[in-house]
């Protein structure tokens, strides 16, 4: 295994950035595999599964390749065990908000068991992992804002300025002042404010959200634009240069997130700006946008596995950067899935906009077309919903789901047990296999969901000649297969040419498929 990893380092293979880190004993520095520095001798190299593990062994981050800015490992999205669940929760900031005890309680294990399993699997415990994340957040604020160091310390989640200073020195080998002075030229031009937290909140924190491999921005932005809900989401600009904007309800306050579609070819990141009412929500907001845009995916592994079946492999080769968008708010996604049951996509959006207008929380001031935060589960559990004009049974389903979310009967947080969540959803009246599966894919970020009874999936499979009975060979990436099939249904039903590598696909009757989003749609 170490020989294979060293070969990836020697070839500066960016496919492995975020999957592991390497440290050099002679320099005391750890790097990402694609670091452009001179390759060290193998005998001087040590490998670590996480940045926190390398930091815990006394290595500081490379100033050249910035290993803390890599995409996350796709393994944590695949894994459904306690370690995978813990890593997703830590990424969402649970340790900073609730401590290790809160993390353990959400996982249903003792704090000691969680500590032991994380140390064994990723080389660092929850506190060390959260500390590495805080340091990364602090570096972003130091290099993109003019905030005072004391304000940054508390916004990043440190308990004291002294702890902040010590951690920055240990991880980056510089004082906070030196780290700020060493920011790259792009960071200097992007610095957003020289005042306090309020000024930074108004101007926004600029971020570069890293991803690995190709990224089909057109597919993702099309997906989001077709579903954008008036009041909480909007997409501005023309294809190729669009900006997706949405509101976020966060633990400490709210935010407006802006993500740009246009990116330099091969840049490896999306440009983002976060306007936060509470800067301490920066880490959580960043992770939720990353989940929405599926930025931690491993497109190389997906393409390799889907190629096991020739027809699906040919389809996947047409869109090598295909992503499976998640959600920035699992509760919101659950409600929207019910609103979209057995209606067209346009009708579902209309219902969602009416729901936001009637029960959403107004922003202190509108931001462009963004006016509200999505309604809370508590609010919807007791709402009449008469304004929506839905059938009474659907209203009952929506209130029942909201009550289950508010009461914790259904858990959809990043560390939720996916099997348990699906079972709890199916126990609710009006929630069937399609809705539960869709939420497992979108709200819980499961990369291995096949909506085999979905009309769009079946249409895409028929049009592209993909045998669904071969779907077992696509594990654990069947969610990506779903998106490829949806895309095939949409493009081929419009009579668009499928492109190179799609020889043999049949051109369908445009009226033969129904592309609405909803169970059995």
Residues marked active site are found at 31, 454
CA atoms of 227 and 498, how far apart (whole Å): 24
> Rounded to whole angstroms, how far apart are CA atoms 130 and 94?
9
The whole-angstrom separation of Cα 52 and Cα 482 is 35
Q: Cα-flanking dihedrals φ and ψ of residue 463, to 5°?
A: -70, -35
Q: Do 44 and 15 touch, CB atoms closer than 8 A?
A: no
Helices (H), 71-160: 75-78, 82-91, 94-107, 111-122, 126-144, 149-155
What is the DSSP annotation of 469-505? GGGGGGTT-HHHHHHHHHHHHHHHHTT----TT-TTP
Backbone angles phi, psi at 311, to 5 degrees: -65, -45
Please give the biggest Cα pair distance in the chain. 70
Task: For residue 490, give both structure tokens.
Answer: 């949409």
How many angstroms separate the CA atoms of 194 and 141, rounded? 11
Length of the chain: 521
No. of helices (H) and no. of strands (E), the chain? 24, 11
What is the C-alpha R_g of the chain? 23
């Amino acid at each position: 295994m170490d020989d294979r990893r060293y070969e990836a380092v020697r070839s500066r293979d960016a496919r492995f950035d975020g999957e592991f880190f390497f440290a050099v004993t002679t320099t005391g520095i750890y790097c990402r595999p694609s670091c452009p520095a001179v390759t060290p001798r193998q005998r001087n190299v040590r490998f670590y599964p996480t940045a926190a593990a390398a930091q815990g062994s006394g290595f500081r981050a490379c100033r050249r390749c910035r290993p803390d800015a890599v995409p996350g490992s796709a393994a944590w999205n695949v894994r459904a065990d306690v370690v995978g669940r813990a890593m997703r929760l830590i990424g969402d900031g649970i340790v900073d908000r609730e401590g290790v005890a809160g993390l353990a309680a959400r996982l249903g294990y003792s704090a000691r068991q969680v500590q032991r399993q994380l140390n064994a699997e990723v080389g660092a415990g929850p506190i060390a992992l959260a500390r590495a994340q805080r340091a990364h957040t602090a570096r972003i604020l130091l290099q993109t804002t003019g905030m005072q160091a004391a304000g940054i310390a508390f916004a990043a989640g440190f308990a004291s300025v002294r702890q902040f200073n010590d951690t920055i020195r240990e991880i980056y080998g510089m004082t906070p002042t030196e780290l700020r002075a060493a920011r790259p030229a792009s960071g200097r031009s992007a610095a957003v404010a020289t005042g306090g937290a309020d000024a930074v909140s108004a101007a926004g924190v600029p971020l570069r959200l890293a991803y690995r491999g190709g990224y089909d921005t057109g597919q993702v932005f099309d997906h989001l634009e077709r579903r954008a809900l008036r009041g909480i989401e909007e997409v501005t600009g023309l294809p190729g240069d669009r900006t997706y904007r949405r509101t976020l309800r966060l633990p400490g306050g709210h935010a407006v997130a802006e993500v740009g579609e246009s990116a330099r070819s091969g840049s490896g990141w999306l440009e983002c700006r976060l306007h936060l009412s509470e800067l301490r929500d920066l880490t959580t907001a960043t992770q939720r946008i990353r989940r929405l845009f599926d930025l931690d995916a491993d497109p190389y592994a997906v393409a390799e596995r889907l190629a096991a079946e020739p027809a699906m492999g040919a389809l996947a080769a047409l869109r090598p950067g295909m992503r499976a968008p998640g959600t920035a708010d699992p509760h919101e996604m659950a409600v929207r899935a019910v609103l979209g049951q057995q209606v067209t996509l346009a009708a579902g959006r209309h219902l969602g906009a009416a729901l936001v207008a009637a029960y959403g929380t107004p922003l202190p001031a509108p931001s462009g077309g963004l006016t509200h935060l999505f309604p809370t589960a508590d609010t919807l559990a007791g709402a009449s919903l008469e304004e929506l004009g839905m059938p009474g049974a659907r209203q009952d389903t929506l209130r029942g789901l909201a009550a289950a979310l508010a009461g914790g009967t259904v858990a959809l947080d990043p560390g939720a047990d996916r099997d348990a969540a699906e079972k709890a959803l199916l126990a609710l009246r009006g929630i069937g296999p399609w809705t539960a599966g869709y939420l497992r894919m979108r709200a819980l970020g499961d990369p291995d969901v096949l909506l085999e009874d979905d009309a769009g999936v079946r249409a895409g499979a028929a049009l592209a000649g993909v045998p669904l009975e071969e779907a077992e060979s696509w594990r654990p990436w069947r969610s990506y297969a779903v998106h490829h099939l949806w895309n095939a249904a949409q493009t081929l039903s419009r009579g668009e040419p499928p492109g190179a590598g799609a020889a043999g696909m049949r051109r369908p009757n445009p009226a033969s498929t129904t592309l609405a989003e909803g169970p059995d749609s």
